[in-house]
DNA sequence: ACTAGAATGTTCTGGTCGAGAACATATCAG
DNA sequence: CTGATATGTTCTCGACCAGAACATTCTAGT
């Protein structure tokens, strides 16, 4: 808290204004200079100057004015440069996914590398390294700002150190450092659900909201992340809000975290598979599968899972008082089957003023979520200080 | 999130720098100009200018250099002005307390007005109004910036509306508005534990920490507040983190919040009174009373209560990953009896990396907590923009 | 087609602010 | 009493944004 980012000379204003303009075209898409003037409250001359600087740095491109303009001189449209990109990596149970994400959030060149058993940290980094090597041609001419990795586990944000990733069995693996060494790119890492929360907050279902709690249900458990004021909240270690380990039932099963009756042990993907009678199921297909299997038994199961989820959400809402809860993975699918079951159970446990304004929605980004969030890690420095510090 | 506080012209820098200097002398006490230069990183000439502006506005006073200076020209010491004050009000179960709090956090003119049954909102405001009237002489010559109230219940921070205060039976009482009308002062209100968290974070046990979770145990239940990055986290309604209503035991007692087995129903002041065989007990005397009553039965009770508290804290730590947990009221007293009982129970339920850096401490401000926190509400506008917007 | 009006880009000037150099001043050590 | 040191004071400079004045390009109406 003490060595705070000095906000001093006029340079700082310049930096902040450049950041605002670049962020705007990154997050909200191309915008005319006139639009930027209105949105930022800056004067026309200042916007012209700022956009000029950003264009000179190759970060934005001014294009033809929108075809259907109103009266008045047409205002050139400022686009994010297609050549400025970051690489997003998602480490999952059964595969590593990787993609190139540009300023503006466009996802390109998705690659998926599957494996049977989760590889060691070093092996994972080597896999990623080879995939990045393979992109060399596709990336020629692009300015690659860095590489970000989404890892299921406790990740120390500041240094990209994976403190523990239970499913892969990683302990204290300096993933960011290893990735930087292998690829020669600036590298970052964070918890997968944290990055999912970031992506949904900036580009997905939480767009424009000041606060949200994101929960993702997958084969490896329930991860969660929080965004307050559009940012990750300040915390001691930068760990994600571990709502998967919030108490749901003290007499429940033992959890690998050491406690018992965690949300993650009570609401589980494998239970869902059992009920559906399936061995494997892609998270994208859960909704379809649920609809096909519709029956009283399945309905009852879904209702029961949603009621347990509501207990976990109660704690989340009491803690963060968020504007919205965003549900991803199979949690989103369960919710969409019986939204009222969850909402009723939640309302019954919340003080009315807390429940009133609360919105529960399903995540909007699907499986690109991780790639976008991870790449965003590598874009952040640029967005904060577009002309470099 | 959209109509963000425009950070534009050079005026904004001036405002931010004035704010930094004033905040420094407010929070960290008088400081020489040389010290301010070092702490802020601003140049000598700028600091001279800033301090000059603040002095001209009557917000700070330059005093004689510290007696034991080193070599070199002595640097005048900048003190917060003693004439700039705010009124802090604490609404409690059995009394209203009120005090004048100056820039710098000094508490003066404490007044306590006791009652048998909690009065209505209107009656409470009238009591406060009379107490303020009575301070007229003491306040002559002072610049009273406003009045802040700490209320046990859900308070909408933005407008100072008490959504529900269960013990007083208030529902949707616009306390801030009523206080402003009665006293003619700018008025603010917030949840009591939220303000306790703010006070402990700025002036108490959480000084210098970037994040903390504060829990206060009193006769009316368990309140809690969170500070992240030295500020209240962004949330939908500005409600405090209601950790008193985090789940501890689903088979526990019904809570007035609608759920069952809340921390607040499982860890209770009246249970403590029973064990101690007392009818009434001031929160300040709990530690002494516990020590007098020491016995295996009391020890066992304390241990049991601490273990339940640990379950609630587990949820808090998983949610916020704070640097410290600060315990106030009887929770602080229980903790100080058997710190290891709580810490062991907590560690057993937390993933090691989360537990590692976590610190649990007893609050440092005692019952001035509320008054300081409440007054701070009224000082905030000045601290954010010292020369007024 | 032509013109008026509107919205926007462009250029230039001015005001605010902080940095830093040069100089002035007050203390300490010997 | 003198030199070294730290700090206050004054002045100049450059960075930055606002706003005025002017230029440009579109739409709407005739």
Mean pLDDT by 10 residues, chain B (389 residues): 56 94 97 96 97 97 83 94 97 95 95 94 98 94 97 95 93 98 98 97 97 95 96 93 88 84 94 95 95 95 97 93 97 98 95 94 94 98 91
Contact A41 B6 (CB under 8 A): yes
> How do residues B198-219 score in pLDDT, each as one tens digit?
999 999 999 999 999 999 999 9
Q: What is the CA radius of gyration of chain A?
A: 22
Model pTM score = 0.93
What is the overall mean pLDDT for chain A?
94
Whether B354 and chain A come into contact, CB under 8 Å, resolves to yes
What domains appear along chain B, each with residue ranges and CATH number?
A: 4-80 (1.10.10.10), 84-195+369-384 (3.30.420.40), 208-364 (3.30.420.40)
Q: CB atoms < 10 A from the CB of A97, how many?
A: 21
Give the Cα separation of A217 and A200 in Å (integer). Answer: 15
- Strand-pairing partners, residue A326, are A214, A361
**pLDDT computed for residue A6 by the predictor:** 60
In this prediction, residue A16 has a pLDDT band, given cuts at 50, 70 and 90, of very high
Give the Cα separation of A153 and A147 in Å (integer). Answer: 18
**Angle separating helix axes A10-28 and A33-40, nearest 10 degrees:** 120
**A156 interaction partners in chain B (CB closer than 8 Å):** 353
Contact B239 A314 (CB under 8 A): no
Residue-level length of chain B:
389
Query: What is the side-by-side strand order in the sheet with B60-63?
Result: B31-32, B77-80, B60-63
**pLDDT computed for residue B5 by the predictor:** 46
CB A148 within 8 A of CB A377: yes
**pLDDT computed for residue B6 by the predictor:** 57
**pLDDT computed for residue A249 by the predictor:** 85
Backbone angles phi, psi at A210, to 5 degrees: -80, -25
pLDDT at A4 over 70: no
Collapsed DSSP state (helix, strand, coil) of residue A157: coil
Q: How far apart are the first and last CA of chain B?
A: 21
Rounded, the Å distance between the CA of A362 and C1' of D29 is 50
**pLDDT computed for residue A5 by the predictor:** 47
The bridge status of strand A170-173 relative to strand A84-91 is unpaired
- Rounded to the nearest angstrom, the gap between the alpha carbon of residue A294 and the centroid of all alpha carbons in its chain is 31
> How do residues A253-295 score in pLDDT, each as one tens digit?
898 877 788 899 999 999 999 999 999 999 999 999 999 999 9
B252: Cβ contacts below 8 Å, ≥ 6 apart: B260, B261, B262, B265, B266
CB A353 within 8 A of CB B163: yes
Rounded alpha-carbon distances, angstroms, from residue A154 to A371, B227, B318 = 18, 22, 11
E strands of chain B, at which residues?
31-32, 60-63, 77-80, 84-91, 95-102, 107-114, 143-151, 154-156, 161-165, 170-173, 187-191, 211-218, 221-228, 324-328, 359-362
Give one DSSP letter per residue of B117-142, joined into a string. Answer: SPPPHHHHHHHHHHHHHHTHHHHTTS
- Report chain D positions within 7 A of protein CB atoms: 3-11, 14-21, 23-28
Rounded, the Å distance between the CA of A18 and C1' of D23 is 27
CB A264 within 8 A of CB A244: yes
- Taking CA–CA distances from A351, the nearest residue in chain B reads B257
Structure tokens at A209: 């909201």
Residue-level length of chain A:
389
- Taking CA–CA distances from A311, the nearest residue in chain B reads B247
Structure tokens at A352: 């009315």
> How do residues A156-173 score in pLDDT, each as one tens digit?
999 999 999 988 999 999
């Amino acid at each position: 808290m003490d060595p705070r980012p000095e906000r001093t000379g006029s340079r700082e204003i310049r930096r902040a204004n450049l950041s605002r303009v670049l962020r705007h075209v990154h997050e909200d898409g191309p915008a005319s200079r006139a639009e930027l003037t209105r949105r930022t409250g800056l004067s026309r001359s200042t916007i012209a100057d700022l956009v000029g600087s950003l264009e000179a740095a190759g970060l934005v491109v001014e294009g033809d004015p929108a075809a259907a303009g109103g009266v008045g001189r047409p205002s050139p449209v400022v686009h994010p440069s297609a050549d400025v990109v970051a690489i997003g990596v998602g480490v999952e149970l059964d595969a590593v996914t990787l993609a190139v994400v540009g300023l503006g959030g466009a996802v390109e060149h998705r690659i998926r590398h599957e494996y049977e058993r989760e590889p060691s940290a070093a092996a994972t980094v080597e896999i990623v390294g080879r995939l990045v090597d393979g992109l060399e041609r596709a990336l020629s001419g692009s300015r690659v700002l860095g590489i970000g990795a989404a890892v299921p586990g406790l990740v120390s944000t500041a240094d990209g150190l994976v403190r523990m990733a239970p499913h892969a069995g990683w302990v204290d693996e300096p993933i960011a450092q290893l990735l930087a060494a292998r690829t020669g790119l600036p590298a970052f890492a964070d918890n997968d659900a944290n990055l999912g929360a970031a992506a949904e907050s900036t580009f997905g279902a939480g767009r424009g909201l000041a606060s949200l709690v994101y929960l993702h249900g997958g084969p490896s458990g329930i991860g969660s992340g929080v965004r307050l004021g559009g940012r990750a909240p300040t915390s001691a270690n930068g760990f994600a809000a571990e709502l998967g380990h919030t108490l749901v039932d003290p007499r429940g099963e033992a959890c690998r975290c050491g406690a018992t009756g965690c949300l993650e042990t009570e609401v589980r993907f494998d239970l869902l598979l059992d009920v559906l009678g399936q061995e494997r199921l892609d998270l994208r297909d859960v909704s379809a599968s649920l609809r096909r299997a519709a029956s009283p038994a399945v309905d009852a199961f879904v209702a029961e899972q949603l009621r347990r989820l509501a207990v976990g959400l109660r704690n989340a809402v009491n803690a963060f008082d968020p504007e919205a809860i965003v549900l991803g993975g199979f949690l989103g699918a369960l919710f969409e089957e019986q939204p009222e079951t969850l909402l009723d159970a939640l309302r019954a446990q919340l003080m009315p003023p807390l429940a009133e304004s609360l919105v529960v929605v399903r995540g909007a980004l699907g499986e690109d979520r991780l790639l976008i969030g991870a790449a965003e890690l590598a874009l952040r420095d640029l967005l904060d200080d577009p002309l470099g510090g």
